[in-house]
């Protein structure tokens, strides 16, 4: 397995993450992007921050994971809060759109009832049998950004 050679520039982190992802090392690619957020040079470069964040969202949505995403979204929000609220809104909209796409893809792949049972806050009276677990709680984090009410309205009579 390839290890992450820490790059000293945000551009280097982006290049390294892209190379790692193409080779199939997506966890290491997310680690390289995460390292890019911690660099001092990144903090004032809003276009570079946007590229780091959107690449991270793309990888996380494709692999159904939140590895480093929660922490880096918080960092991104704090940096944008003082410099560019429009950029923050743009990236969060991008995240929401990706999340909804993942949700719709899962809805097509699995039944509506199965997704509702996974997303509902109520405890089911009868346990749901899932011998072939369809998704872990980390994989379903994207589903949390979509509205369960919207799903129920769509399928109600």
80-106: per-residue pLDDT in tens?
A: 887 888 898 999 999 999 988 888 888
Q: Give the pLDDT confidence score for residue 103 in this predicted structure.
A: 82
| Mean pLDDT, residues 116-145 | 52
The structure's pTM equals 0.68
Q: Give the pLDDT confidence score for residue 3 in this predicted structure.
A: 45
| Mean pLDDT, residues 17-44 | 90
Summary mean pLDDT of the chain: 77
Instruction: Write the DSSP symbol of residue 127.
Output: P
Percent of the chain with pLDDT over 70: 70
Q: Give the pLDDT confidence score for residue 127 in this predicted structure.
A: 42
Of 100, 30, 111, 96, nearest in space to 68 by CA: 30
For residues 90 and 22, what is the distance between their CA atoms, to the nearest angstrom? 26
Of 43, 40, 98, nearest in space to 69 by CA: 98
| Mean pLDDT, residues 44-51 | 88
> Of 54 and 122, which is predicted with more confidence?
54
């Amino acid at each position: 397995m390839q290890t992450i050679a820490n790059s000293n520039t945000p551009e280097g982190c982006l290049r390294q993450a892209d190379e790692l992802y193409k080779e199939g090392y997506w966890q290491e690619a997310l680690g390289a992007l995460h390292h890019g957020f911690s660099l001092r040079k990144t903090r004032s470069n809003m276009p570079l921050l946007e590229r780091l964040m959107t690449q991270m969202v793309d990888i996380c949505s494709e692999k159904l994971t939140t590895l480093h995403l929660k922490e880096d979204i918080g960092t991104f929000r704090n940096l944008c809060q003082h410099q560019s609220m429009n950029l923050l809104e743009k990236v969060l909209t991008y995240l929401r759109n990706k999340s909804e796409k993942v949700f719709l893809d899962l809805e097509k792949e699995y039944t509506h009832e199965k997704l509702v049972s996974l997303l509902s806050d109520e405890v089911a009276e009868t346990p749901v049998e899932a011998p072939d677990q369809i998704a872990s709680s980390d994989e379903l984090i994207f589903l949390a950004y979509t509205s369960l009410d919207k799903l129920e309205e769509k399928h109600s009579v």
